Amino acid sequence: MRDTIFCVFSVLTTLVLAIVSLRYVRDFYLLSFFYSFQVHLAVAAAAASIAALLVKRHWYGLLTLGLSVVLAVHGVIMMREFAEPAVEENRPALFKLMSFNIENDNFANGAAIADMAIASGADVVNILEAEPVLSELPRLLKTYPYYIGCGVGMQECDTLVLSKRPLIEPRIRNLGLLWRNRLTISTIDFDGQKVNFLAAHLTKPYYDEFHGLEIWDLAEIIPSLPGPLVLAGDFNTSILAPDVQWLMRGQGLGTVSLEPATWPIAAGAFGIPIDHVFSKAPLRLKSVRRIQDSFGSNHFGLMAEFVVDP
């Protein structure tokens, strides 16, 4: 009986470790969902290995335990690779950004989301899957008179960017080949300091290779926008995904030391960050925090503050 239990634990642990480890060989899109959970799965595999060793002492249990620890530690290292130096608490923020995928059928909470955005104090608001706040747009425009999306630049109401300041040369582009008009590009002048804003909504990473093509498009667009830059939105994958890591390294993007988990809602702080706010020097993130109420969405929203280094 002990041998059978040990065998079951070992087989399950081996399968999990094999799936996670394949990322070091090839970025296979069908497994990309699991790559985002590398730390979670490695910790679970370590727990299973310990359970197996309690049932029966065997070298294979020690092997899977050691590999689990290595994968978990390396996952943490990769998450912290792009962390920017902390900003002094008393240093004033140049501007504040809200980014929130509100879910496109979340009509019951559209008014409450609009109230929250108005009261947030954010200078710029990115709303993805924005159809539920379309009817609230006249009220939102009293606080945010400048916008793109939801009838301006595109007929769809997927990506909506609202601003208290004028949007300079706002435009909308396609990302990849699957969805249309899921990237907005604009520039905002904050008292003489111009900042480029990209609001992006990427497809799920296991939909063939479309996610990688969208990342490739972003890698071509970002160098064409010199100066401080913000890239924010729903990436549908964590920073552990190989294609996101490639984008971050290649474009010199940074983030906070610990990104807030935004999905799944039920997991709370133990979920994964699939919604991101990235910055490019000389712009730097002062803080990124999760909006505690999901307002009926299947994502948590984010509030971020930025500074510009000399």
What is the CATH code of the structural domain delimited by 95-308? Answer: 3.60.10.10
Query: In the prediction, which pLDDT does 151 show?
Result: 76
d(CA 18, CA 40) in angstroms, rounded, equals 14
Q: Are 233 and 276 in contact (CB under 8 A)?
A: yes
Q: Which pLDDT belongs to residue 26?
A: 82
Burial class (CB in 10 A: 0-12, 13-18, 19+), 193: middle
Neighbours of 142 (CB within 10 A): 8
CA distance 62 to 277: 39
pTM of the model: 0.93
Q: What does the alpha-carbon distance between residue 143 and residue 136 come to, in Å, rounded to a whole number?
A: 12
Tens-digit pLDDT profile for the chain (310 aa)? 787 888 888 889 999 999 999 999 888 877 888 999 999 999 999 999 999 999 888 889 999 999 999 999 999 999 999 999 888 888 999 999 999 999 999 999 999 999 999 999 999 999 999 999 999 999 999 999 999 988 776 777 889 999 999 999 999 998 988 788 899 999 999 999 999 999 999 999 887 789 999 999 999 999 999 999 999 999 999 999 999 999 999 999 999 988 999 999 999 999 999 999 999 999 999 999 999 999 999 999 999 999 998 7
Residue 71: burial class (beta carbons within 10 Å; 0-12, 13-18, 19+): buried
Rg (CA), the chain: 21
* Res 153: pLDDT: 63
Residue 117, judged by CB atoms within 10 A of its CB (0-12, 13-18, 19+), counts as buried
Residue with tokens 């590999």: 67
Q: What pLDDT, on a 0 to 100 scale, did the predictor assign at position 48?
A: 94
Residues of the chain with CATH 3.60.10.10: 95-308
With helix as H, strand as E and coil as C, how does 24-87 read? Answer: HCCCCHHHHHHHCCHHHHHHHHHHHHHHHHHHCCCHHHHHHHHHHHHHHHHHHHHHHCCECCCC
